[in-house]
Each structure stands twice: as structure tokens, then as C-alpha cells.
Amino acid sequence: MMYSKIIGTGSYLPEKILTNSDLESIVDTSDSWIRSRTGIEQRHIAAESEMASDLAVNACHKAMESADIGADEIDLIIVATTTPDMIFPSTACILQNKLGIQGCPAFDVQAVCSGFIYALATADMFIRAGRCRTALVVGTEIYSRILDWNDRSTCVLFGDGAGAVLITKCDQPGILSSHLHANGSHYTTLALPGSISRGKIKGNPFITMDGNTVFKFAVKVMEEIVHEALAENNLQISDISWLIPHQANIRIIQSTAKKLGISMDKVVTTIAKHGNTSAASIPLALDIAVRDERIRPDQYVLLEGVGGGFTWGAVLIRW
């Protein structure tokens, strides 16, 4: 039987750092207010010249280096992003060109903060079906450009960044299972409702969010999806070495861990330094935990995310 396995990780954060103290001069907020409600201390902000594909390129080069994989060995590119370089072509095609890769399929996935989970699951299915051998899966976001910097309920939450993984065909299971869900009845709860029509912006071009509803829904489904993944693989909570959730809010993460009965010592968190980087948050956290050697061979690692739509999902890995 054919499986897929992660063989390389990489990440990139823009140089500019925006601290909570910096935000105090921009919007009516405070460092203590942000920390107590979100767990965020700072976030990275892309330079004006940087696009989502540029952030992705840097993350991809690090992933390719760690895997010792050349561009000519990649035969699938999937990019998860809510903030593409342009409406079309896809950011994946732009990234393909910047990496000097030709001919292989390249496309974007839009599932907001669950985007990387959706993209990784899709790449895994391509490999299991024998349609590719080595896939590059990326989450990249520049949320700083879709925030209303006068809205303290949203502008304090998000940051910019990119993370990437390389997965390849393997005889032994790496990715054990993936679990994807959506409930479109909540599409207005977390959204960017604006659009472009006849050369003009139509509607609100900034993120809107019902924070209380998002919080309650996220905690509920992030608990449920973990149990779903464990049940399919006949595992227990105690078998999980590392839980890597979407980095939306430290209180969501803590509440989920408490409901699952898992110690926060086994949860990878990066939100304090990154903020919510949407589709980039899980691969960013994964790369950090791999590089500091918290994640080791034969451990069970569970990735999970929830995002606007609502979408949610999980990928269970035997590292």
C-alpha cells in the first residue's frame, strides 16, 4: 500500500515586528488587554514589496533544503491562502515560476485558517492515488492588508507569515488519516465580504468577525475532530505526543486541551510571537517544533484547524 510522509519543513516570517505596545499608538487598545484575551505579544508584518508568493518562496527553500530535494523532483504544488497575490492566476502558479519548477500541477486551496489542513489532505490523496511522488504544500498569508486598523476586535489578532512542507511517497505510513468538514451556514460569522466589481470595491474590504460565536464553535469542533481522528486509528489521547492546533487564540487552544484532557506541555503554541497567521499558522508551528527537535521519529503528531466558512479538519501523522 502507498502512503505519504513529510520529509521536510520550512517557514518564513517577515522582518518587521509589530508589538502590542506599537498597536497602542494605532488603535484604542493596550498590551495587557491583548495578552489577556488572545495570548498575543507581537506579530510580523510583510513589507510593501512582499507578496504571499514571496513569503512562500522563502519557506519553500528552507523546506527543500531540509529535505534535500531539488526543484526538479517536485511534481505537485498546493498553496493554501486567503490573501493571494492576485485574483488569478493562482499564487501556486506564481510560486511555481519563482521556484523554477515547470509542468507539474499547481493550484490554490481556499479554506481560510483550515487551508493548510485541506491542502495537506489533498496532497496526501494525490500521492496515495499514485498521481504524484513528491508534493510541496504551503500555507502563506499577508493578513495585514485586509485588516481595518481602526477595529481593535480584529486588527490585534492577525499577522503575516508562511510555512511549507514536502511530502513524498513512502511504503510505511507517515500521514495516517485526514478528516475534513465544513458548515456553510456560518459563512457570515467570519468573513471578508467585499469584492471587486467593474474596477471598484463592492462591500466591506476588511475582515468581519463575531468573536463569541467563533470561539464557541472552534472549541467544540476542535475537540470533536481530535476524537474522530483517534477513533479511526484506534488510538487514545495518551498516544498523542504533540497537538499542533491552528494558532487563533490562546484561550481557544487552552479550552480545547482542557476538554481533551491533554497537557499544554504537549501542545505546540506560537501565537504569542506570530499572532494568527491563518493558513500559515500550522506549518509555521510544525516547522519550529521540528527544528527544535521536540518532534522525533515514531511520535504521533496531530494537526488541527478551524476557519471561516466554517471549515475544520485534522491530519494525524506518525512521524
Over the stretch 68-104, which tens digit does the pLDDT of each residue have? 999 999 999 999 999 999 999 999 999 999 999 999 9
- 104 noted as active-site residue: no
For the stretch 115-152, what's the b/e string if a residue is b when 16 or more beta carbons lie within 10 angstroms of its beta carbon? bbbbbbbbbbebbeeeebbbbbbbbbbbbbebbeeeeb
Q: Which residues pair with 300 in a beta bridge?
A: 240, 318
64 in the Ramachandran plot: left (φ > 0), alpha (ψ -120 to 50) or beta?
alpha
Q: How much is the pTM?
A: 0.98
Say what the pLDDT of residue 1 is: 79
Given 44, 179, 246, 274, the catalytic residue: 246
Q: Is 204 a catalytic residue?
A: no
Average pLDDT along the chain = 97
Q: Mention every residue, 6+ apart, whose C-beta is less than 8 A from residue 272.
A: 39, 40, 41, 42, 250
Give the number of other Cβ atoms within 10 Å of residue 259's Cβ.
15
Residue 42 cell numbers, joined: 507581537
Please give the Cα distance from 228 to 72 (Å, whole number).
37
Render pLDDT for 206-223 as a digit per residue (tens, 0 to 9).
999 999 999 999 999 999
Q: Using an 8 Å Cβ cutoff, are 277 and 160 in contact?
A: yes
Candidates 20, 58, 249, 276; catalytic one: 276
CA 151-143-259 angle, 5° bins: 80
On the question of pLDDT at 185 being above 90, the answer is yes
- Where does residue 13 rank: exposed (0-12), middle (13-18), buried (19+ CB within 10 A)? buried
Q: Which residue of the set 44, 58, 60, 113 is catalytic?
A: 113
Per-residue pLDDT tens digits for 228-261: 999 999 999 999 999 999 999 999 999 999 999 9
Span 122-150, mean pLDDT? 98
> Is a pLDDT exceeding 90 seen at residue 142?
yes
Report the pLDDT averaged over residues 184-204: 96
pLDDT in tens, 277-311: 999 999 999 999 999 999 999 999 999 999 999 99
Q: Which three cell numbers stand for residue 36?
A: 489577556
Which part of the chain has CATH 3.40.47.10? Answer: 3-171, 176-318
Task: Say whether 113 is catalytic.
Answer: yes
Q: What is the DSSP letter of 198?
A: T
* C-alpha dihedral, 247 to 250 to 256 to 257, nearest 10°: 100
Can you name the CATH fold of 176-318?
A: Peroxisomal Thiolase; Chain A, domain 1 (3.40.47)
Pairing of strands 16-19, 175-182: unpaired
Task: Write out pLDDT tens, residues 15-41.
Answer: 999 999 999 999 999 999 999 999 999
Domain boundaries 3-171, CATH class? alpha beta
From residue 225, give the alpha-carbon distance in Å to each of 205, 249, 269: 32, 18, 19
Q: How far out from the chain centre does Cα 81 lie?
A: 9
